[in-house]
Structure 1
């Protein structure tokens, strides 16, 4: 009998959508420092167990991985990438507002705001 288990995200990549790259580029322009990168982290907490964190950073640490799209760099640490492997960083604008969103195949549940998840 063939194995019918669903595949688990094992690729240690973070995909940055075109929309997210454009928004990050715009925000970096407003900050006035072209050396900035968007740092995406995962930490314990939030209403679902883990929460996403976003901030600008100009430093790449020894345990960081850098993902690039259209000249924009998104950096995350090795531990956060364990929970982000195969995820997509997107920027969405709709009638309810605009926000960065993470489409994370490792999340088994997430809260209503989308800023925290369970793995």
Structure 2
């Protein structure tokens, strides 16, 4: 059975690479899911030094996206994008598994 896929959009990969370069860290974005937020679960982003045991890893333009096994169940099939709008700029998860999400785009329900 193939592992569920999650990926970075090219725009998100460029943004991660720029942030990592400024901070002198590897271009590795960790996405995790925590309980809470206005819809039940919330996304958490951060730079990582490397993948942990059991992480799912995907690559886009030389940038890695790592997700732990527990979070992967909730975000399988997602694309992490970077969106700039009048309201600001942010990483956004396009999650086909979410039954509902909130207006802020950082929390969801399944």
TM bracket (short chain): over 0.9
Task: Give the TM-score, by structure 2 length.
Answer: 0.93
C-alpha displacement at 1:30, in angstroms? 0.6
Query: 1:29-73 CA deviation, whole Å, 9 max, x = no partner?
Result: 11112x351100011111101010011111321111111100001
Residues matched between the structures, number: 109
Matched, 1:39 2:21: no
Q: Secondary structure at the match of 2:22?
A: helix
Within 5 Å, give how 1:2-81 maps onto structure 2: 12-33=4-25, 35-81=26-72
Aligned CA RMSD, in angstroms, stands at: 1.4
Contact 1:11 1:86 in 2 (8 A): no
1:90 aligned residue (74, 81, 89): 81
Q: Specify the structure having the higher radius of gyration (Cα).
A: 1
CA distance in 2, matches of 1:32, 1:93: 24
Unaligned runs of 5+ in 2: none
Per the alignment, residue 118 of structure 1 pairs with 109
Task: Give the TM-score, by structure 1 length.
Answer: 0.86
After TM superposition, where is structure 1 displaced by more than 6 Å over at least 4 residues in a row?
Answer: none
Unaligned runs of 5+ in 1: 1-9
CA distance in 2, matches of 1:68, 1:16: 7
| Deviation larger for 39-48 or 59-68 | 59-68
Q: Secondary structure at the match of 2:4?
A: coil
